[in-house]
Amino acid sequence: MLFVLSFKFDPEHTHRVLEMWKHFTFPKEVKVIDRYLLIGRHKSVAIFDAPDEESLLKITAPFSSLGVAHIAPAMRLQEAIKVAY
């Protein structure tokens, strides 16, 4: 399933968060699509495909003392507009 992770970190943790992202290895079952730093927002964003909740915890737990992670399931717009509801 596709997810978007938005991680808001405290400004005083900027350098530590960036160093952690430099060396962070996503779990092998996770396919990373892309990662971004929102300049001037103290926020990073990652888009990835993950199979389960355990994978989400493996990604967010190492950063939990430095900020707040928000994860939302995502669907490509091209797919979403075809859904009848």
25-39 confidence digits (pLDDT tens): 999 999 999 999 999
| Cβ neighbour number for residue 75 with a 10 Å cutoff | 11
Number of domains in the chain: 1
Range of the domain at 48: 2-80
In whole angstroms, give the CA distance from residue 23 to residue 84: 43
Per-residue confidence (pLDDT) for residue 24, from 0 to 100: 93
Let me know if residue 85 belongs to a domain. Answer: no
Cβ-proximal residues to 6 (8 Å cutoff; 6+ apart), any chain: 43, 44, 45, 69, 70, 71, 72
Strand order in the sheet with 31-38: 31-38, 43-49, 2-9, 67-73
Let me know if residue 63 belongs to a domain. Answer: yes
Let me know if residue 45 belongs to a domain. Answer: yes
Let me know if residue 8 belongs to a domain. Answer: yes
Let me know if residue 11 belongs to a domain. Answer: yes
Per-residue confidence (pLDDT) for residue 64, from 0 to 100: 93
> pTM (2 decimals)?
0.87
Q: Which residue has the tokens 């995502």?
A: 74
59-68 confidence digits (pLDDT tens): 999 999 999 9
Residues of the chain below pLDDT 50:
none
Provide the CATH number for the domain around residue 38.
Answer: 3.30.70.920
Let me know if residue 58 belongs to a domain. Answer: yes
